[in-house]
């Protein structure tokens, strides 16, 4: 019997008349079976009532399966008043039946949004039930996925919670479900299932096996994909494995990330050292805060969970419950980066909900023992409550500023390498004069804007190279595309074609015969400085368009944040310009 069942039956043996149990909906069949099975072992009658049909059933285990037998002693009343839907509470107080009564569907009526008179009647009935049945062999269990109790009865009703399974519990489950796997394969699969309930894992394994997959690596890969998809649907989050990516600049911040990796080792923990309780990235939009968090995931080699903090406001009364569940999930996964994107937007309303959520987060940050690195990004530091930015909450605060010349040079090369193969493997084909002109024209452009400039330049270069590729009247090779591609005119017209998206090209357009179906022989895309400068004219940088707001953000960030980048010492820095050349 696991810890939850042990605690639950301890309360039953102590003849506690009423307590609450919060459980995930998908675990309901397993939970009811476990309670019924243990009740049979201890010779205790077990009953179930649900709000759905207002009927009472006795839970029994027959040949290892859970069965429900109708109990004739309970006869529902005609529902002329709302309280009559909960007549079961009055019945259990006076009935001669003994044992455990599981009550489902009552929690929603105990919240502040429920109908007042009905809510007060239920609260009074529960308190009287506890008083009347004290020291008797009758226990009522309030069961539901969200055990929210109003403060006036919270002290009267003990609440138990079903936690996410540990890695040891998942391993035990997998040994039964996958008996042909060896220990190392079970461990790898169990690691992929951390953060899921046992019922989720059983469901995923059943469907993966049904699809014909049983090879351990593929099996683990599909289980992880199922988990990522489930997290997105249930918690509205992104769960990313450590990416492979490059970043231009921000060397000081990257050095700190590498120190965090050292602090997460058992050796550091033996010295009572720990990672920061939180890391805050502040600066204008588009400067690379989210990108930096992904780089941290790469450097530390641990997955990353991305949460839009402002989304919690849309959950209303469910916001605190959602946050509590999410923090429990993060704690269970343990070695992970918990990234709170647009952290300041969650406090834009300056209302009670934002303060309550901040209080929950701060309490968790202060008390947690898991190896979770919390990174939050914010544009407007003025929106954050002062208690969030004091030392001991977010220990490290970095100012992610507009990139300097050297950083823009690196960012350009990273984006150019996506389209122009000449820039791959660290190569550089532009002259120093060309770079200086390009960097001067992109002054105050952030990384996101540089990426847009390169993409626009790549698109315009492509359109010039293949400006007639959509012309289905004249076959390529007969003078239409030969000048651009350098293909001789005597090459015969092609009959091969590919179908473009119907919304853009209703008829297929031809491909040249020297290109196979995989486009492996396409001519290279070479982006010129002129194309980049032209694309720059179509971009109005935020730091110029909203100069006052951006400068206010930068100045505030400079007061509280550590620099993310060293002083520019590249050949393109302002201090390295030769005015006599």
pLDDT per residue as tens digits for the range 280-328: 999 999 888 988 999 999 999 999 999 988 888 778 778 888 999 999 9
Mean pLDDT, residues 141-166:
89
The pLDDT value recorded for residue 486 is 34
**Maximal CA-CA distance, the chain:** 103
The answer on pLDDT for 216 being more than 90 is no
Q: Please give the residue that has the higher pLDDT: either 260 or 511.
A: 260
The pLDDT value recorded for residue 349 is 63
Q: Render 516-566 in DSSP notation, one character per residue.
A: -TT-TTPPP----HHHHHHHHTT---HHHHTHHHHHHHHHHHHHHPEESS-
The pLDDT value recorded for residue 395 is 86
The pLDDT value recorded for residue 540 is 92
The pLDDT value recorded for residue 3 is 85
The model's pTM:
0.81
Please provide the average confidence, as pLDDT, over all residues in the chain.
84
Q: Which residue has the tokens 């060293």?
A: 566
**Which among 139, 138, 137, 161 is positioned nearest to 149, based on CA atoms?**
161
Start-to-end C-alpha separation, the chain: 82
Q: Per-residue confidence at 501, pLDDT binned at 50, 70, 90?
A: very low
Q: Per-residue confidence at 510, pLDDT binned at 50, 70, 90?
A: very low
Q: Please give the residue that has the higher pLDDT: either 21 or 368.
A: 21
**Which among 101, 122, 120, 110 is positioned nearest to 148, based on CA atoms?**
110
Q: Per-residue confidence at 471, pLDDT binned at 50, 70, 90?
A: low
Length of the chain: 581
Q: Per-residue confidence at 517, pLDDT binned at 50, 70, 90?
A: low
Q: Phi and psi (nearest 5°) for 171?
A: -60, -45
Q: Phi and psi (nearest 5°) for 136?
A: -125, 155
Q: How far is CA 83 from CA 73, 86, 127, 128, in A?
A: 19, 6, 15, 15
**Which among 54, 56, 116 is positioned nearest to 85, based on CA atoms?**
54
The pLDDT value recorded for residue 38 is 93
pLDDT tens string 162-203: 999 999 999 999 999 999 999 999 999 999 999 999 999 999
Q: Please give the residue that has the higher pLDDT: either 509 or 532.
A: 532
The pLDDT value recorded for residue 508 is 40
Mean pLDDT, residues 228-248:
88
User: CA-CA distance, 499 to 53, in Å (whole number)?
Assistant: 56
Instruction: Give the dihedral sign, CA 254/258/261/262.
Output: negative
The pLDDT value recorded for residue 534 is 95
The answer on pLDDT for 476 being more than 60 is no
The pLDDT value recorded for residue 345 is 81
Q: Which residue has the tokens 């990257």?
A: 254
Helices H / strands E in the chain, number of each: 22, 16
Give SS3 for 509.
strand
pLDDT tens string 391-433: 777 889 999 999 999 999 999 999 999 999 999 888 889 999 9
Q: How far is CA 191 from CA 77, 196, 215, in A?
A: 51, 10, 16
Q: Name every residue whose Cβ is closer than 8 Å to that of residue 26 and which is 6 or more positions away in sequence.
A: 197, 199, 200, 203
């Amino acid at each position: 019997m696991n810890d939850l069942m042990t605690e639950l039956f301890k309360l039953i043996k102590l003849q506690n008349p009423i307590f609450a149990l919060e459980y995930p909906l998908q675990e309901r069949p397993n939970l009811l079976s476990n309670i019924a099975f243990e009740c049979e072992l201890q010779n205790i009658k077990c009953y179930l009532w649900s709000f759905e049909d207002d009927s009472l059933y006795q839970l029994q285990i027959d040949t290892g399966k859970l069965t429900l037998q109708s109990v004739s002693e309970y006869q529902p009343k005609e529902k002329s008043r709302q309280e009559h839907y909960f007549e079961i509470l009055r019945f259990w107080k006076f009935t001669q039946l003994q044992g455990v009564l599981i009550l489902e569907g009552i929690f929603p009526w105990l919240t502040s949004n429920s109908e007042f008179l009905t809510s007060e009647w239920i609260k009074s009935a529960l308190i009287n039930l506890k008083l009347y049945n004290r020291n008797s062999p009758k226990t009522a269990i309030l069961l539901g996925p969200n055990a929210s109790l109003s403060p006036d009865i919270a002290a009267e009703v003990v609440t138990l919670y079903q936690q996410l399974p540990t890695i040891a519990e998942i391993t035990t489950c997998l040994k039964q479900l996958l008996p042909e796997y060896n220990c190392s394969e079970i461990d790898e699969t169990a690691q992929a299932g951390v953060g899921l309930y046992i019922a989720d894992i059983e469901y995923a394994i059943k469907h993966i096996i049904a699809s014909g997959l049983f090879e351990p690596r593929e099996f683990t890969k599909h289980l992880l994909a199922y988990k990522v998809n489930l997290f997105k649907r249930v918690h509205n989050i992104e769960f990313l494995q450590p990416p492979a990516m490059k970043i231009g600049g921000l060397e000081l911040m990257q050095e700190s990330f590498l120190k965090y990796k050292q602090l997460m080792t058992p050796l550091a923990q033996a010295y009572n050292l720990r990672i920061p309780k939180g890391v805050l990235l502040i600066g204008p939009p588009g400067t690379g805060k989210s990108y930096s968090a992904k780089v941290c995931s790469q450097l530390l080699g641990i997955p990353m969970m991305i949460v839009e903090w402002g989304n919690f406001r849309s959950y209303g009364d469910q916001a605190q419950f959602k946050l509590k569940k999410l923090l429990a999930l993060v704690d269970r996964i343990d070695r992970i980066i918990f990234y709170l994107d647009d952290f300041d937007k969650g406090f834009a309303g300056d209302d009670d909900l934002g303060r309550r959520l901040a209080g929950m987060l701060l309490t968790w940050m202060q008390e947690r023992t898991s190896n979770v690195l919390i990174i939050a990004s914010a544009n407007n530091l003025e929106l954050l409550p002062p208690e969030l930015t004091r030392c001991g909450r977010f220990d490290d605060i970095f100012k992610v500023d507009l990139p300097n010349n050297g950083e823009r040079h690196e960012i350009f090369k990273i984006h150019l390498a996506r389209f122009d193969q000449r820039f791959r493997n660290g190569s550089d084909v532009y002259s120093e004069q060309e770079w200086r002109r390009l960097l001067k024209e992109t002054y105050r452009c952030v990384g996101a804007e540089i990426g847009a400039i390169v993409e626009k330049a790549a698109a315009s270069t492509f359109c010039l190279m293949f400006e007639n590729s959509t012309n289905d009247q004249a076959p390529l090779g007969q003078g239409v595309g030969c000048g651009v591609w350098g293909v001789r005119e005597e090459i015969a017209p092609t009959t091969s074609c590919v179908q473009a998206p119907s919304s853009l090209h209703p008829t297929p357009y031809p491909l040249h015969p020297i290109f196979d179906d995989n486009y492996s022989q396409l001519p290279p895309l070479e982006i010129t400085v002129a194309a980049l400068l032209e694309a720059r004219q179509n971009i109005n940088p935020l730091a110029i368009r909203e100069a006052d707001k951006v400068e206010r953000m930068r100045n505030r960030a400079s007061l509280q944040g550590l620099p993310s980048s060293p002083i520019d010492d590249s050949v393109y820095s302002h201090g390295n310009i030769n005015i006599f050349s």
